[in-house]
Amino acid sequence: MTRIAVFQMSAAIDAADRPARIVSAMKEAAGAGARLMIAPELALSGYGRGAVLAEEAQAPDGAWGRRLGEAAAAHGISVIAGFPEAAGDARHISALMIDRTRPDAPQIYRKGCLYGDYERGIFAPAGPTTVLMRMEGLSVGCLICYDVEFPENVRRLAVAGADLVAVPTALPKGAPAEFIARHTIRARAFESQVFVAYADNADRDEGFEYQGLSSIAAPDGRVLAEAGVTGDALIYADIEPAAFAASRGANPYLEDAARQGLI
């Protein structure tokens, strides 16, 4: 069994304070027994800051990556956190996946499907990719925000063997967003029989107001933990894939989809 934490992060803070806020949350989560923490989309830089994100983007081994790696080793907790990635001349919305036992060897997931003109004006899409990393005894896949709204993306990770799909997100506030946070995330977990950890921003930054409602959903569709609409929050769940064998037996979607040639 692995305890995970989702860090819902208020956007109403100075961008320069963000890395320290994430490290502080890692320390608190580790103290509560968590061994993996997921932070939001572009958590290290902030999301709604416009074209400056292209200028501030870093390589995975830049100052942000090194700081989180040091914190992971020091506090004994692995971490997944969003950042603007510089990859040559390209810029991506990416997530650092850092294992506390291998802090100098992060895995990188790049957002496959960008949402709207705002993101497309700054970043390049990566297209569908399957990124899995063994973290704290779990096979962890990663998607970012809009990616999880396509069931095909979660299904692809489930077929590849994911136990948990971590989703850093920056979901803007509104009626459609509330539906996504409250219902779509549960459906994704249920239809692919995986855990889904959804880490949103909250409150308002220079460009957007965010929905909050970060959550951790189980393979049987239950919400194991949920944050409120506003403010920082750390929520926790104990992840034990074997405990949901009955749910997978009653809802053998992957097995039957393969049998019918759907996947």
* Catalytic machinery residues: 41, 111, 145
Distance of CA 93 to the CA centre of its chain: 12
Paired with 198 in beta bridges are 167, 215
Pairing of strands 209-211, 215-217: unpaired
Closest by alpha carbon to 86, among 108, 59, 106, 66? 59
Neighbours of 81 (CB within 10 A): 30
User: Residues near 149 by Cβ (< 8 Å), separated by ≥ 6?
Assistant: 180, 184
Distance, CA of 42 to CA of 188 (rounded, Å)? 22
Describe the crossing of helices 185-192 and 151-159 by its angle, rounded to 10 degrees: 40
| DSSP code at position 58 | B
